[in-house]
Amino acid sequence: MTETGYAKLLRAFIGEQDKVEGQPLHEAIVTAALEHQVAGVTVLRGVESYGATHRRHTAKVLRLSENLPLVVEMVDVEERIRTFLPLLDALMVRSGGGGLVTLEQVEVLRYPPKG
């Protein structure tokens, strides 16, 4: 049976080279989210992007980028996402790499495993 409801979607747009104390930032975010018991987290790798500096990052063979874009997405109830924000903020600031975080309300259709 499908479960439906509403949740908060958080997206953190970061760079592949962003690090916190030598650890990749995306790994630090996933670890912190797991410890905070966020329902689900996915890291997506982009093939091309630009941000505030308007410097293009691409995965094209002739223009190998050293800093491809990553998007860390997480979905959970709003309260848990909101209480996770200070942890994410600290990681983003400590990385020094800049970035962007978005929040939006989403409708969720959940398909639990059988059994």
Whether 63 is in a domain gets the answer yes
The domain tally of the chain equals 1
Is 14 among the domain residues? Answer: no
Measured distance CA(46)–CA(64) in Å, rounded = 13
Residues in the chain: 115
Tell the residue number behind the tokens 């059988």, with chain if given.
114
DSSP assignment letter at 15: E
Query: For residue 52, is it within any domain?
Result: yes
- The whole-number pLDDT of residue 10 equals 98
**Is there a domain that residue 104 lies in?**
yes
Q: pLDDT at position 28, please?
A: 98
| Helix/strand/coil (H/E/C) assignment for every residue in 49-115 | ECCCCCCCEECCCCCCCCCCEEEEEEEECHHHHHHHHHHHHHHHHHHCCCCEEEEEEEEEEECCCCC
CB environment 1-28: b (16+ within 10 A), e (fewer)? eeeeeebbebebbbbbebbbeeebbbeb
Q: Name the pTM for this structure.
A: 0.87
**In a 10 Å sphere around its CB, with 0-12 CB exposed, 13-18 middle and 19+ buried, how is residue 55 labelled?**
exposed
> Is the Cβ–Cβ distance between 70 and 46 less than 8 Å?
yes
Q: What is the pLDDT along the chain (115 residues), one digit of tens a residue?
A: 678 999 999 999 999 999 999 999 999 999 999 999 999 999 999 877 676 677 776 666 555 556 788 999 999 999 999 999 999 999 999 999 889 999 999 999 988 888 7
User: Per DSSP, what are the bridge partners of residue 9?
Assistant: 75, 104
Range of the domain at 35: 3-9+19-68+77-110
Residue 115 resides in a domain? no
